Structure 1
Amino acid sequence: MKIISTNIGERKEIDWKGKKVATGIFKYPVKHPIFLDVKNVTGDAICDLKYHGGIDQAVYAYSLKHYSYWKNLYPDVDWQFGIFGENLTLDHIDETTTHVGDTFIVGETILEATLQRSPCMKLGIRFNDMKIVKQFWNTSFCGVYFKVLQTGNVNVGSQFTQVKSCPQNPTIADLLQKRKNELGM
């Protein structure tokens, strides 16, 4: 695996059903290295700390291979890396084979897979279509949150080298299904 794009976003206020909502989902590629810190990506806006950021959700990665699936469903979207709110667009990451605790050296950092992304209405706002939220829940293409065990810079082309495998733990896709079941979906 390697990084295809590094993406950060600024705080943006949007109108959601007559209410102002702050979001950081509007992420775009940057040409410089990004610093992965313990609780977040330096320079990247996190507006809802209840659901984003923090130690177990410091960095969000999404697979480029998933983009083709979504492009078929949303051909009129302005497709840019970072559209799913990911900090790292990877050439490939498979949520069905990535386990909680799997650990990778990436650039100057060490990252540990921790959680799935559970989509909310902000993804629908980013796509200008709320249908994507349910569609996202109904795939295993949720992306992977990482804990930063060692801080540092990463950039486009940085390789993910797995240094620890935890096949005894649930996969990221397993976590998504469990969360879906908890919500009665």
Structure 2
Amino acid sequence: MKILATNIGERKEIDWKGKKVTTGIFKYPTNQPIYLNVEEVKGDSICDREHHGGIDQAVYAYSVKHYDYFKELYPDLKWEYGIFGENLTLDDIEETKVHVGDTYKVGEVILEVTKPRYPCMKLGVRFNDMKIVKQFWNTTKSGVYFKVLKTGEVKKGDLFELIQTDTTKPTIADIYLQKKKSKFS
């Protein structure tokens, strides 16, 4: 796996159908390395600390391969890296093959896979269409949250080197589907 883009966003307040919404989901690529800290990406705005950031959700990564699926559903959208609110856009991360606890070395940083990302209404705000939330739920293209075991900078082009895996642990897709089943049953 390789980083195609490092993305950060500022706190943004928007009017969504007459309601004021504060969000950090509008992330855009940066040309500078980004610093992955223990609970967040330095310089990236997190507006909902209950569901984003923190030790187990410090960094969010998403596969560019998943973009193609959603581009078919939203061909008129302006597609840019970071559109899913990810800090790291990767060339390929497959939720059905990544296990909770998998550990990667990325440059000087060490990251551990923790959980999938569950969609919320702010993804709908970003896409300007709430249908994306259900469409996102109906896939296993959730992206992956990481815990930062060793802090430091990462940049576009850095490679993910798998240093530890335990295939007896559930995959990110397994966890995602369990949550979906409990949420919608």
TM, length-normalised to structure 1: 0.98
Give the distance between the partners of 1:115 and 1:182, measured in 2 at CA: 16
Q: Which is further off, 75-84 or 19-28? A: 19-28
Give the distance between the partners of 1:40 and 1:107, measured in 2 at CA: 17
| Counterpart residue number, 1:5 | 5
Give the distance between the partners of 1:168 and 1:18, measured in 2 at CA: 48
Alignment partner of 1:65 is 2:68 = no
Q: For each residue in 1:94-148, what CA deviation from the matched residue of structure 2 results, as whole angstroms up to 9, or x when unmatched?
A: 0000000000000110000001010001001101111110000000100000000
Q: Helix, strand or coil: the match of 2:184?
A: coil
Give the distance between the partners of 2:38 and 2:87, measured in 1 at CA: 14
| Counterpart residue number, 2:93 | 93
Q: For each residue in 1:42-71, what CA deviation from the matched residue of structure 2 results, as whole angstroms up to 9, or x when unmatched?
A: 000000000000000000000011111111
Q: Helix, strand or coil: the match of 1:183?
A: helix
**TM superposition shift of 1:15:** 2.0
Give the distance between the partners of 1:67 and 1:120, measured in 2 at CA: 18
Q: Tell me which amino acid in the other structure corresponds to 2:154.
A: V
Q: Helix, strand or coil: the match of 2:78?
A: coil
| Counterpart residue number, 2:37 | 37
Alignment partner of 1:142 is 2:142 = yes
Give the distance between the partners of 1:183 and 1:17, measured in 2 at CA: 26
Gaps of 5+ in 2: none
Give the distance between the partners of 2:18 and 2:96, measured in 1 at CA: 38
Matches within 5 A, 1:110-121: 110-121=110-121
Q: Tell me which amino acid in the other structure corresponds to 1:93.
A: I
Q: Tell me which amino acid in the other structure corresponds to 1:158.
A: D
**TM superposition shift of 1:180:** 0.8
Give the distance between the partners of 1:98 and 1:157, measured in 2 at CA: 20
CA RMSD of aligned residues (A): 0.8
Q: Tell me which amino acid in the other structure corresponds to 2:179.
A: R
Give the distance between the partners of 1:76 and 1:13, measured in 2 at CA: 24
| Counterpart residue number, 1:176 | 176
Give the distance between the partners of 1:16 and 1:179, measured in 2 at CA: 27
**TM superposition shift of 1:19:** 2.5
Q: Helix, strand or coil: the match of 2:101?
A: coil
Matches within 5 A, 1:19-30: 19-30=19-30
Q: Which is further off, 26-35 or 174-183? A: 174-183
Give the distance between the partners of 2:149 and 2:7, measured in 1 at CA: 20
Give the distance between the partners of 1:20 and 1:129, measured in 2 at CA: 16
Provide the aligned length of Structure 1 versus Structure 2.
185
**TM superposition shift of 1:16:** 3.0
Gaps of 5+ in 1: none
